[in-house]
Structure 1
Amino acid sequence: MRTTQDWSRFGGGVIVILALGATLALFVPRFLGAAAGPELEIITALKATESSGLSLPVPGAPGPLTSRQHRFARITVNVAPGGQRAEAQATLDFEGALGDTRVGTAGVERVPFVVRNGSWVPETTAAPRLQAVVWALESRRRALQAADAESLGRLAGPGTPGVGGPEWEQLRQVRARGYQAEAWYVRLERDDAVVTEHWRLQGALPARPVDTRGQRQLSLSLSGDEFLFSPSLM
């Protein structure tokens, strides 16, 4: 029969084992990550977002671009000399929304990583190219709603003409104008993006009310850190 002293020793041993287990759970992944190099840590960081979700800020939009589900695959990592910066290249399948606008994408994503506080983290977000494309699309939508040719012109790539033609002139005449993007479906290539936009225009012309829907294809090209529209804005 165990004595009170035996039970005390047994309980103390259990506490030590539990404490050791908690310590190992905290530090072993870091040791394994260090042993395997930054590639494993960066891949793990990207894959972890699939369960935690993505929330990408879009300047000027009422809220962030949020994922319903997404998946990174075919991830490769290139570490820069010095071991403090890296770039992950991957395919990204994304379904989500920006406010009332459905957003879907498939294609190539490039994610710069840096070391902060001893861990590899995305330099900005885990999907910077998708974020940049959606920012350009939302900026265009707001400019069309306001019929603001100057703001639209700032989104045009080199050699892209400004807005004009019958569609633009009709849009300018619509009063109480509301230009809504119901969906953007984005195909991300290496330096380009092709977008299918489902749009709705509401308002009134002098002779009749307006409530029309349509679909158009837009092309964007990477210029520095931005995606600009080419060969046309509409």
Structure 2
Amino acid sequence: MSRSEAWSRLGGVIIAVLAAGAAMVVLVPRWLGVAAGPEAEIITVLKSTERAGLSLALPGVGEPLTSREHHFARITVNVEPGGQRAVAWATLDFSGRLGRTSVSSLGVERVPFVRRGRDWVPEGLAAPRLAAAVRALESRRQALEVGDREALERLLVRGAEADAGAGEAELARIMSLQRRRYRSEAWYLRLERDEAVASEEWRLEGQLPSRPVDEKGQRRLSLIRSGEEFLFSPGLM
């Protein structure tokens, strides 16, 4: 055998080994997932978002909620009879942004999954409760800025009334401003199974007949889960 033939055969062997290695990289995780069951596959899907990042589209909001860093932990999976649907419960530690607003959240997340072909995928968003709470907060901010009282009332839990004391007075004061801008600098959320608490850092700009207004402050807001959304209770301020 000539030296060139030997090198040609060696090259062929190396290529075959590399091809087999590439195939194993693709196939072994799938084989392991099948062997371990849907629970392991779903946990892997959630944990993989920590590297890829989250971008959550919120209905009625022009910009997505995007993560800077997030971690899913203490994940448990309940597979429904039939093996085509499942629900993952987890704690989610999230930091990111919605436009100019900084968002930090810690708490319980519930993620429905469906089986599509061989893969398990989130039925909707990978963090639906966080998205719903942030959507409620941003809808409130938008309604305050444009002075839409009907939109604000739709964000309240049915039967709940805005606090007749300082809360209602503050709302009326904000609505009285001309050329109003209401900015949420940051939201810090704590999500439980059926409720959420948000601390808001806000900035209010506008014009009174006698003077301009430029104020900053903090307030605490309570939300209650209603179906797939969050609503404010007892009030908006």
Does the alignment pair 1:179 with 2:182?
Answer: yes
> How far apart, in 1, do the equivalents of 2:48 and 2:162 lie?
43
> How far apart, in 1, do the equivalents of 2:53 and 2:154 lie?
32
Q: Verify the 8 A CA contact 1:53 1:68 in the aligned structure 2.
A: yes
Instruction: Name the SS of the counterpart of 1:42 in structure 2.
Output: helix
Q: Verify the 8 A CA contact 1:159 1:231 in the aligned structure 2.
A: no
Q: Offset of 1:163 from its aligned partner?
A: 7.7
> How far apart, in 2, do the equivalents of 1:231 and 1:180 lie?
22
> How far apart, in 2, do the equivalents of 1:215 and 1:9 lie?
73
**Partner in structure 2 of residue 130 of structure 1:** 130
> How far apart, in 2, do the equivalents of 1:24 and 1:46 lie?
23
The range that moved more, 115-124 or 223-232, is 115-124
Q: Verify the 8 A CA contact 1:149 1:162 in the aligned structure 2.
A: no
Q: Offset of 1:2 from its aligned partner?
A: 5.6
Instruction: Name the SS of the counterpart of 1:105 in structure 2.
Output: strand
Q: Deviations over 1:163-220 (max 9, x none)?
A: 8732122112100000111111000001100011111110100111011112111111
Does the alignment pair 1:25 with 2:25?
Answer: yes
Aligned residue type for 1:106: L
Instruction: Name the SS of the counterpart of 1:95 in structure 2.
Output: strand
Aligned residue type for 2:171: W
**Partner in structure 2 of residue 155 of structure 1:** 155
Aligned residue type for 1:126: A
**Partner in structure 2 of residue 223 of structure 1:** 226
> How far apart, in 2, do the equivalents of 1:116 and 1:211 lie?
52
Q: Verify the 8 A CA contact 2:66 2:96 in the aligned structure 1.
A: yes
> How far apart, in 2, do the equivalents of 1:32 and 1:224 lie?
36
Q: Offset of 1:58 from its aligned partner?
A: 1.8
Instruction: Name the SS of the counterpart of 1:73 in structure 2.
Output: strand
User: TM-score normalized by structure 1?
Assistant: 0.96
Structure 1, unaligned stretches of length 5 or more?
none
Q: Summarize the alignment of residues 87-166 of structure 1 with structure 2, pairs less than 5 Å apart.
A: 87-162=87-162, 165-166=168-169
Match of 1:232 among 212, 216, 235: 235
Aligned residue type for 1:82: G
> How far apart, in 1, do the equivalents of 2:69 and 2:143 lie?
29
Identity of aligned residues (%): 60
**Partner in structure 2 of residue 205 of structure 1:** 208
**Partner in structure 2 of residue 74 of structure 1:** 74
Q: Which runs of 4+ in 1 moved over 4 A?
A: none
RMSD: 1.4
Instruction: Name the SS of the counterpart of 1:124 in structure 2.
Output: coil
Q: Offset of 1:227 from its aligned partner?
A: 0.6
